[in-house]
Amino acid sequence: MGIENLPRTIEMTESADGRRTARIVDQRALPRDLSYSDVKTHREMIDAVKTLALRGAPAIGIGGAAALALYAENESGADDAAALLSELETVAQSVSTARPTAVNLSWGVARALEVARVAAAGTAAASAVADALVSNVQAMIAEDEAANRAIGAFGAELLGAGTRILTHCNAGSLATAFYGTALGVVYAAHRQGKIDMVYADETRPVGQGARLTAWELGRAGVPCTLICDNMAASVMAAGKVDAVVVGADRICANGDTANKIGTYGLAVLARHHGIPFYVAAPTSTTDASLTAGSQIPIEERAATEVSACIPQGVEVFNPAFDVTPANLITAIITERGVFDPESV
């Protein structure tokens, strides 16, 4: 058992009919079934992102870039590069807004659009632009894994022998092209013999911790204990947690960080119990255009995620993310090193 037992979350492949596709792990089926979906159009990619078949900030950033490549390869009828570029400008808008909180999605789309512009400036062939977009996705996949492994290495240096980590949601290999951010720290530290236990919050209401993080850690051979979200305080109070490590969906210029709903509460608990609280994320998750967490758009999702049976007359509030203030974050771990939140 080990990291090699984890699947590649997203890859560019070629179907039997010769069409380029994005093959993704369908995370809705886990942990019962490890299955894959072949995404052939930008609308299918938007659906995969919205329905959480593909999720995790770094992974959906790659998915956003792949959506433009798929449009250019399989959908556009443009005769030349200029016409294709015009179409891609429109497609980019619909893809980048599929989920509003994770900045990696719009970042990935913007990067792909710039690749298309550069390619179109040097060729009249629409096919050459499509090829450039596919190459860009493949480059992003390689860059993401390299960044995650660097995050893991930097994060592992912060941990001592016998460390017990608590994590929330899934910031593992499934949330990236491969390896993971918060769990990348875990995998690197585990390889060094430093990890005694990982406590995985179930992460209500969709259960990314229970369904995905626990599955990942078990498959990779990392000691894991699954707990309900409301057990975290008791586990901390019992002295069973040495560090909290989570991922991020957007990091503001001042270090305020959006992550899966429930992260803010963990940061408050960690501060109360004197436990370091680390955020692990690639630099593509930073958003210097926002000066504070109050400016981050917070996605609200369907009431049925909270309960399949809602009593008549009862309203449901279901924000997918919350914001952890920078003053509750011990450090932010990136592929470029470890930073104080305010200097990230």
DSSP type of residue 320: S
Three-class SS of residue 165?
A: strand
DSSP type of residue 65: H
- 8 A C-beta contact, residue 161 and residue 194: yes
Question: First and final CA of the chain: distance in angstroms?
Answer: 35
Which has the closest alpha carbon to 212: 55, 45, 320, 10?
55
Pairing of strands 331-334, 337-339: antiparallel
Among candidate residues 229, 249, 256, 287, the one labeled active-site is 249
Q: DSSP for 235-273?
A: HHHTT--SEEEE--SEEETTS-EEEETTHHHHHHHHHHH
- 8 A C-beta contact, residue 245 and residue 257: no
Q: Point out which residues pair with 258 in neighbouring strands.
A: 250, 323
Cα gap 173→6, rounded to integer Å: 7
Pairing of strands 250-252, 257-260: antiparallel
Sign of CA dihedral 248, 249, 253, 257: negative
Q: Angle at Cα 118 formed by Cα 117 and Cα 120, nearest 5°?
A: 65
- 256 is known as an active-site residue: no
CB atoms closer than 10 angstroms to residue 193: 9
Q: What is the dihedral of CA 126, 121, 133, 40, to 10 degrees?
A: -30
- 8 A C-beta contact, residue 23 and residue 17: no
Active-site residues: which are they?
Answer: 249
